[in-house]
Amino acid sequence: MISAGPVSRFYEWMLSKGDTRVQEWPLMATPGPVLTIFLMYLITIKQGPKLMEAQKAMDLKKCIVVYNLGLVALSAYMFYEFLVSSVLAGYSYICQPVDYSTNPLALRMANVCWWYFFSKIIELLDTVFLILRKKPISFLHAYHHSTMLLNWWLGVKYIAGGQSWFLAMLNTFVHVIMYSYYGLSALGPQVQKYLWWKKYLTILQLTQFFGVVIHTGVNMLQGDCEFPQGFNYAVFLYAISLIILFGNFFSKTYNGKQGKRQ
């Protein structure tokens, strides 16, 4: 049995390795708050549909339209910040270490990384809306939402910037288009009949994951790059898992079956 001493020391050691700039930022001091949100999310997925069994599906059209438009605006803001901050700081697509200084551009990048993490908390409402509308929740949906939450807490805590900027920038660009689609789709059948591009939205999502694999893979081959290789391996494997899951979704959805929102 593992004693409390080594576990406690390991926990303190892990926290001591965090980025001191974000230590006092909301939700970043310890993993407790984000783990609580994560567990509550899993409980909601498990118990929510059961609680809705005896209830009528809710009509949330207006709420969902506003929610999606809000995420379009937030995603556009984050994309702009990732793009401009990286260009002004002269980021490299081959090897980009994290700048842990208090340089204004370094702090600007860390700040948008935090907002990107926080957006993953907001996006958990995707699942809540599905439950309240009595829509099915796929494994892909639950896996992607829950893991991104934890992944980006770690990202902000330890690597707020550097190589991680690229995948976040790509994802915010995709989310501008994705949440635009969801917002328009929520307006009803009179608009949905014009949304012929859902298939291409899924292709765009898959393309971003391939882009992350290539970008991370190139960096992994740079033996002298000062970005932590452990995070590179984690991002590389995670992107592959999403390629497999989204690829499976694409195959099933566009083989004569109506797609479900992910």
Separation of CA 196 from chain center? 25
List the chain pLDDT tens, one digit each, 262 residues.
Answer: 445 688 888 889 899 999 999 999 999 999 999 999 999 999 999 999 999 999 999 999 999 999 999 999 999 999 999 999 999 999 999 999 999 999 999 999 999 999 999 999 999 999 999 999 999 999 999 999 999 999 999 999 999 999 999 999 999 999 999 999 999 998 888 888 888 888 999 999 999 999 999 999 999 998 889 999 999 999 999 999 999 999 999 999 887 544 444 4
Active site residue 144: yes
- Cβ pair 172, 78 in contact under 8 A: yes
- Of 202, 193, 204, nearest to 255 by C-alpha is 202
Distance CA 16, CA 184 (A): 45
Going from the C-alpha of 239 to that of each of 72, 93, 171, 235, the distances in angstroms are 23, 17, 12, 6
pLDDT on residue 259: 44
H helical segments located in 52-137: 61-88, 104-122, 125-132
Q: Which residue has the tokens 């790509």?
A: 170
Count of Cβ atoms closer than 10 Å to residue 111 Cβ:
18
Phi, psi dihedral angles at 114 (to 5 degrees): -65, -45
Which of the 8 DSSP states describes residue 124? Answer: T
Choice among 144, 145, 175, 215 that is catalytic:
144
- Cβ pair 97, 172 in contact under 8 A: no
- Of 168, 81, 66, 72, nearest to 117 by C-alpha is 168
Q: Encoding tokens for residue 238?
A: 């995670």
Q: Which residue has the tokens 């994802």?
A: 171
Q: Encoding tokens for residue 101?
A: 């200084």
pLDDT on residue 165: 95
- Of 146, 138, 162, nearest to 226 by C-alpha is 162
pLDDT on residue 6: 84
pLDDT on residue 4: 62
pLDDT on residue 79: 98
